[in-house]
Amino acid sequence: MKTNLFAALALAAVGSTLIACGGSDSGSDGTFGPQYGNSNSSGNGSGGGNNPGSLGGNGGSGNGTGGGGGGIAMCAQATLSAQAQPLHLVFVVDRSGSMCEYDSNGNADCSNKNSKWVQATGALKTFVGSPDSRGIKASMIMFPDKDPTSNNDLRCTVSNYTKPIAPEVTLPDTTTLGPAMDKHIAVSGNTPTASALSGAVQYAQSLQTQNPNDKIVLVIATDGIPMGCNDQGSISGASKVVSPVAADMPTYVIGVGDNTGDLNALASAGGTSKAFSASNATPSATGKLLSDALTAIRTASVSCTFPIPAAPSGQTIDYTKVNVQVTTKGTPGTIKQSQDCSDPAGWKYDDANKPTKIELCTASCGTVKADAYSSVGVVLGCATEKAGVN
């Protein structure tokens, strides 16, 4: 079974089945490809397509007796589904008056298809509705805030940004987040970035408390320099808000428009180095730039940490007999353990003595992230394949 890696931070699942191998008498073709030994060796003789190496090969096409599936295929007891850390995205979206284009009378025209507001909300709707976002949970906070009953400007009140207009919506979604954004169209007023992020961080911290094993990420999209409240035209106030939580709860920044030069400092304080830029120099291209930024953020946020699945009923896991199987572009392959990640294409335990999680090293993590439909499984019963060991 192949599922989207981004499902629930991507539900990375491989079916709970034994690894298949070629027929023992006919040398028939096995099911696995290049990383499983010689994948298409001929079936003549006793080898019959079975590579004596640890990973085995596909079954041969001749009449040998060993047709396919040596090594792991021969000793595997079961392949368990692995689920990566669930991901929660907390969006903080600027709806200040400048997000809409002004008409000749100086009035904001939020219906203008080339406005930053229409482009930004359009890109967000595409992102949250995409199958590639399957399983992620998203919350939406918009700023500045106004009391809808009295129209009093409450943009500086931090507590108003601790309550998303749509909390914890499971993606993909086409019925909740989009309509919520449409009901909270851009309004006049300044850009109280520090106040909005203060409330958003408080909300994100409450999510983390409720979901201690999950990954929480903030994403702010804004079109300019903070103004009003305590911001005083400087990014420093907002930067001080996100910096203390950056190590565990990064903040990604998307600059919408062309007045976003200081936003790199906010991204750096938030632990993500540099802001994404969606210039409106060519207004019709702004939405595409925003979509690209959101896709990059989703990819960067995907976890490469997998809690070790529970053993089958009545069994215990021998951690010296665990192998990690990754399927990318439809091709499965076993990657080797490299406890210090000196082999970047390997994996490691979070704690070699008391393992609870499997962590992919940099190269294997990058490979998995590059394929939205990658999947990961844990194979039990065979001596762990280790980097540098034949």
Domain residues of the chain, as ranges? Answer: 19-75, 87-301, 305-380
Kindly state the average pLDDT of the residues 2-7. 32
- Residue 93: alpha-carbon gap to chain centroid: 20
For the chain, give the percent of residues with pLDDT over 90.
46
The Cα 130–Cα 165 span in angstroms is 20
* Backbone phi, psi, residue 294, to 5°: -65, -40
Q: What is d(CA 303, CA 357) in angstroms, rounded to the nearest whole number?
A: 12
pLDDT at 338: 97
Which residue did the predictor score with more confidence, 147 or 330?
330
Confidence of residue 113 (pLDDT cuts 50, 70, 90): confident
Contacts of 210 (CB under 8 A, 6+ apart): none
Greatest mean pLDDT among 8-17, 56-65, 144-153, 293-302 lies in 293-302
SS3 label, residue 27: coil
For residue range 168-221, list pLDDT tens digits in order. Answer: 999 999 999 999 999 988 777 788 999 999 999 999 999 999 999 899 999 999
Between CA 375 and CA 3 the distance in angstroms is: 7
Q: What is the pLDDT of residue 92?
A: 97
> Strand (E) positions, 117-178?
137-143, 166-170
Q: In degrees rounded to 5, what are phi and psi of residue 35? A: -85, 5
Mean pLDDT of 50-68: 34
Average pLDDT over residues 70-86: 73
Q: Of 34-38, 277-281, 347-351, 380-384, which one has max mean pLDDT? A: 347-351
Q: Are 42 and 63 in contact (CB under 8 A)?
A: no
What stretches of the chain show up as alpha helix (H) in DSSP? 72-75, 116-129, 177-183, 193-210, 236-242, 263-269, 283-301, 362-370
Residue 334 has pLDDT above 50, yes or no: yes
User: What confidence category does residue 390 fall into, taking pLDDT thresholds of 50, 70 and 90?
Assistant: low
Mean pLDDT calculated for residue range 261-268: 90
Q: Does 25 have pLDDT greater than 80? A: no
Verify cis geometry, omega within 30 degrees of 0, for the bond prior to 86: no
- Per residue in 240-258, pLDDT (tens digit) is 999 999 999 999 999 998 7
Tokens of residue 87, six digits: 């991901």
Angle, CA of 382, 384 and 386, to the nearest 5°: 145
pLDDT beyond 90 at 98: no
Question: Residue range 124-143: average pLDDT?
Answer: 93
Joined tokens for residue 13: 């699942």
Instruction: Please report the pLDDT score of residue 233 as a whole number.
Output: 80
pLDDT at residue 371 is higher than 60: yes
pLDDT band at 66 (very low <50, low <70, confident <90, very high): very low
For residue 341, the model assigns a pLDDT of 97
Q: 87-301 architecture in CATH?
A: 3-Layer(aba) Sandwich (3.40)
